[in-house]
Structure 1
Amino acid sequence: MNHLLTHLRHVDLAVPDYDRQLDFYSGVWGLTKVTEDSGISFLAAEGSPEQYVVRLRKADEKRLDLVSYGVASPQDVDTLAERLLAGGVQLISQPGTVDTPGGGYGFRFFDVDGRTIEVSADVEVRQHRKIEEKESIPVKLSHVVLNSPDLNKTREWYETHLGFRLSDTLWHPRMGEAMHFMRISSQHHSMAIAQGPHTALHHVSFEMRGIDEYMRGTGRLLRAGVRKLWGPGRHTAGDNTFTYFLDPHGNTVEYTTELETLDEDTWHPHVYDFSEDGVADQWGTANPMNELIAKESFNDVDRGVFVAPPV
């Protein structure tokens, strides 16, 4: 099939304590508030051409509003919409004008687990800049990880309908397959699917300039008293660094850097047993992965399943 998706654009969250969430992302986390209007705000990463990488919305219940991906052209938007309709996928909206910062042309639909997914093209590029040495703020959005009660069903749906390719799998002797890393480009993963008890957001990851900036950012959050879940360390799958924190609403967010770039012509997926030393963390510097960390990563049950966000 033609691989139409080009990159991850933004992840949109709804939260009851909107002001506290906005203070976190636009403050210690290091994003820039681009615009705000009556309980909805758009936050950019200074090094990214995307208009925004996180959208926050004030709501009665916490939920994942949507995950947004880019495609190369309006024609690709139309092609994908036709393909999804033919495949029996439920569209939320028809292709048309996108009414968010930067505009564009796109549409929304539900994935197999009931998450709202948006695809768009022709979004105006944001004036961004090079992140300087020792500047410990996110360069861009790196990837998103989603919890699914049936990770292979979800994996197959994303492969069939959106052209994702499997990069690697994490496996455990007691649990079996635990996570699939999925790509839409030479970047090791733009999305991963984790086996969880319910549909929910697992974590959102932000790319830092380099190791030093990643460690400085990690240290800034620790000094600010933000709760660290796991890290600092370096994964085997993807070969990227990681430190995971909890935002004020209990969503897991990650600082990372040096995510692996693959040669897609020669790459073969690995299956890694993450019960073995050095798989979850090559360095051995992170606190051990345990049931408490896993439970936090499962997040709360998402109340937005098969319910399109109001905006």
Structure 2
Amino acid sequence: MTRRLITHLRHVDLAVPDLRTQQDFFTTTWGLTVEHSDSGLTFLAAEGSPEQYVVRLRESADKRIDLISFGAKDRADVDTLAGDLARDGVQLVHEPTDLQTPGGGYGFRFFDNEGRTIEVSSDVAVRQHRAIEAGESIPVRLSHVVVNSADPEGTVAFYDKHLSFALSDTLVHPRMGSMMWFLRTNAWHHSMAIARGPHASLHHASFELRGIDEYMRGTGRLLRQGVEKIWGPGRHLAGNNTFSYFLDPHGNTVEYTTELETVDEDTWHPHLYDFSNPEVSDQWGTANAMNEFVARKSFNDPDKGLFVAPPV
């Protein structure tokens, strides 16, 4: 296996027109904690995660993904990866430098093949965190991020070639061909997935809960509060994780999940799963059917931040 310099997913940063409403949703409703704040910026932590924050919100006229952040082992690996990308012609947003975001650290940013801003960092201070208690229906950590791509084959190839992401499984459809690719950066089945869509955008951000009971309690709590549910509750076949998808106030899909599969990377062989088989999307058969409504909501609005780095 090619030496992988990316260790894990750190955070996803979103720009939204109404910062106060979005922050209220992610804290009061979703269960994250405001760990740091600045003018027009909010950094939200998951109580069970050592990451300084798992979501950053920035107030902006344009709704967009500001960036997706991944971790590296140390400064040497950050420098190596930045040098490799530059030599391969990947456009860097900035060279490796000391970071000014909460927890500090050392990192750089670059544009992927479709123009998303990606950050890689090391030496970020560990946040004081705690074990989530039984029955506590708040996120433990950021599980994975899924993006829509108008060129999914090219995007999968980019993350394979330049970041050594490994393919875990692929969803295929008899009429539409390959639909979603699950990519891993460690033993978790996926930290990122690429979905075929009409444009580049956020498909969903997923948050791990403590267990099945906490996941169901969280799903029920959001339903009682009137948050719009898109799909679920159910259990996927690829990754074997549970799913409940909801819409945040700006139309981004966010997911509660638990029990994401870990794989033996030395022996794992990717599967091709036929998405037209209902048990592939939902082993339990408890979720509403995957249909055009669910798909349209997951397409989201076209990302307005492609090849435009966020100001902070």
TM range (shorter): over 0.9
Amino acid at match of 1:126: R
Q: Provide the C-alpha distance between the structure 1 equivalents of 2:298 and 2:11, rounded to a whole number of angstroms.
A: 20
Q: Provide the C-alpha distance between the structure 2 equivalents of 1:277 and 1:37, rounded to a whole number of angstroms.
A: 46
Q: Provide the C-alpha distance between the structure 1 equivalents of 2:286 and 2:110, rounded to a whole number of angstroms.
A: 41
Q: Provide the C-alpha distance between the structure 2 equivalents of 1:92 and 1:37, rounded to a whole number of angstroms.
A: 23
Structure-2-length-normalised TM-score: 0.99
* Corresponding residue for residue 199 of structure 1: 200
* Corresponding residue for residue 54 of structure 2: 53
* Corresponding residue for residue 135 of structure 1: 136
* Corresponding residue for residue 84 of structure 1: 85
Q: Provide the C-alpha distance between the structure 2 equivalents of 1:174 and 1:245, rounded to a whole number of angstroms.
A: 28
Q: Provide the C-alpha distance between the structure 2 equivalents of 1:277 and 1:129, rounded to a whole number of angstroms.
A: 38
Q: Deviations over 1:153-183 (max 9, x none)?
A: 1000000000100000000112110000000
Q: Secondary structure at the match of 2:238?
A: coil
> How many Å apart are 1:208 and its aligned residue?
0.2
> How many Å apart are 1:250 and its aligned residue?
0.3
| Aligned positions of 1:181-220 closer than 5 A | 181-220=182-221
Cα RMSD between the aligned structures? 0.5
Q: Deviations over 1:106-143 (max 9, x none)?
A: 00000001000000000000000000000000000000
How many equivalent pairs are there? 311
Q: Provide the C-alpha distance between the structure 2 equivalents of 1:174 and 1:59, rounded to a whole number of angstroms.
A: 39
Work out whether 1:292 is the aligned partner of 2:293.
yes
> How many Å apart are 1:277 and its aligned residue?
2.4
Q: Provide the C-alpha distance between the structure 2 equivalents of 1:277 and 1:66, rounded to a whole number of angstroms.
A: 33
Q: Provide the C-alpha distance between the structure 2 equivalents of 1:83 and 1:186, rounded to a whole number of angstroms.
A: 24
Work out whether 1:121 is the aligned partner of 2:157.
no
Q: Provide the C-alpha distance between the structure 2 equivalents of 1:279 and 1:104, rounded to a whole number of angstroms.
A: 40
* Corresponding residue for residue 11 of structure 1: 12
Q: Provide the C-alpha distance between the structure 1 equivalents of 2:266 and 2:4, rounded to a whole number of angstroms.
A: 14
> How many Å apart are 1:39 and its aligned residue?
1.0
Amino acid at match of 2:188: Q
| Aligned positions of 1:16-31 closer than 5 A | 16-31=17-32
Q: Provide the C-alpha distance between the structure 1 equivalents of 2:286 and 2:196, rounded to a whole number of angstroms.
A: 25
Q: Provide the C-alpha distance between the structure 2 equivalents of 1:298 and 1:115, rounded to a whole number of angstroms.
A: 16
Q: Deviations over 1:32-72 (max 9, x none)?
A: 00111111000000000000000000001100000000000
Q: Provide the C-alpha distance between the structure 2 equivalents of 1:18 and 1:45, rounded to a whole number of angstroms.
A: 19
Q: Secondary structure at the match of 2:20?
A: helix
Q: Provide the C-alpha distance between the structure 2 equivalents of 1:179 and 1:54, rounded to a whole number of angstroms.
A: 24
Amino acid at match of 2:67: L
Query: Which is worse superposed, 50-59 or 30-39?
Result: 30-39
| Aligned positions of 1:56-71 closer than 5 A | 56-71=57-72
Q: Provide the C-alpha distance between the structure 1 equivalents of 2:278 and 2:125, rounded to a whole number of angstroms.
A: 45
* Corresponding residue for residue 153 of structure 1: 154
> How many Å apart are 1:17 and its aligned residue?
1.0
> How many Å apart are 1:26 and its aligned residue?
1.1
Q: Provide the C-alpha distance between the structure 2 equivalents of 1:66 and 1:268, rounded to a whole number of angstroms.
A: 30
Q: Provide the C-alpha distance between the structure 2 equivalents of 1:202 and 1:276, rounded to a whole number of angstroms.
A: 21
Amino acid at match of 2:249: P
Work out whether 1:261 is the aligned partner of 2:262.
yes
Q: Secondary structure at the match of 1:94?
A: strand
Q: Provide the C-alpha distance between the structure 2 equivalents of 1:104 and 1:266, rounded to a whole number of angstroms.
A: 34
Q: Provide the C-alpha distance between the structure 2 equivalents of 1:186 and 1:18, rounded to a whole number of angstroms.
A: 35
Which segments of 5 or more consecutive residues in structure 2 lack a partner in the other structure?
Answer: none
Q: Deviations over 1:81-103 (max 9, x none)?
A: 00000110000001001110000
Q: Secondary structure at the match of 1:95?
A: strand
> How many Å apart are 1:274 and its aligned residue?
0.9
The list of structure 1 runs, each at least 4 consecutive aligned residues, that deviate by more than 2 angstroms after superposition, is none
Amino acid at match of 2:207: F
Work out whether 1:306 is the aligned partner of 2:302.
no
Work out whether 1:174 is the aligned partner of 2:175.
yes
Amino acid at match of 1:91: L
Q: Provide the C-alpha distance between the structure 1 equivalents of 2:253 and 2:26, rounded to a whole number of angstroms.
A: 12
Amino acid at match of 1:88: G
Work out whether 1:242 is the aligned partner of 2:237.
no
Query: Which is worse superposed, 125-134 or 270-279?
Result: 270-279
Which segments of 5 or more consecutive residues in structure 1 lack a partner in the other structure?
Answer: none
